[in-house]
């Protein structure tokens, strides 16, 4: 399938991820108090890229979690799945900056 237009090539995406990672680090004065949360499905790959880049820059891993918002979407039919709760995370995000 041929794409209509190329918005960003691989190098442009890598530069954008690099820039965003640096901005996250700078605005939070380091990574000690941040947690990355990627919304499934398409936000998750971006959060993985950001976490990897932040680790390359800072030399430490950032807590990273997926978030499934399927239950809360208004464009799909509801089913018997339980809504996500705070207990879904095995990490205390109190006083953390969630990105």
pLDDT, the chain, mean: 86
| Token pair belonging to 31 | 């990574």
Task: Answer yes or no: is 32 within a domain.
Answer: yes
Range of the domain at 83: 10-98
Does residue 50 fall inside a structural domain?
yes
Task: Kindly report which listed range (19-23, 27-31, 32-36, 91-95) carries the lowest average pLDDT score.
Answer: 91-95
Residue 78 lies in a domain: yes
Give the domain CATH number at 18: 3.40.50.2020
Q: For residues 76 and 96, what is the distance between their CA atoms, to the nearest angstrom? A: 31
Angle at 29 between CA 24 and CA 34, to 5 degrees: 55
DSSP string over the chain? ---S--S--HHHHHHHHHHHHHHHHHHTTSSTTEEEEEETTTHHHHHHHHHHHHHHHHSS---EEEE--GGG-SSS---SPPPP-GGG-SS--TT-EE-
pTM: 0.79
Note whether residue 60 is domain-resident. yes
Q: Is residue 54 part of a domain?
A: yes
Closest CA to 62 of 30, 18, 23: 30
Q: What does the pLDDT read at residue 86? A: 46
Q: Is the pLDDT higher at 4 or at 51?
A: 51
Domain count within the chain = 1
- Residue 3 in any domain: the answer is no
pLDDT for 73-90, tens place per residue?
666 666 666 565 544 667
Residue 5, in any domain of the structure? no
């Amino acid at each position: 399938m041929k794409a209509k237009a190329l918005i960003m090539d691989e190098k442009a995406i890598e530069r954008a991820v690099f820039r965003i990672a640096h901005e996250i680090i700078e605005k939070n004065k380091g990574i000690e108090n941040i947690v990355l949360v990627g919304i499934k499905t398409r936000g998750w790959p971006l959060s993985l890229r950001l976490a990897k880049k932040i680790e390359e820059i800072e030399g430490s891993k950032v807590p990273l979690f997926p978030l499934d918002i399927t239950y809360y979407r208004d464009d799909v039919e509801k089913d018997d799945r339980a809504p996500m709760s705070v207990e879904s995370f095995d990490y205390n995000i109190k006083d953390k900056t969630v990105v």
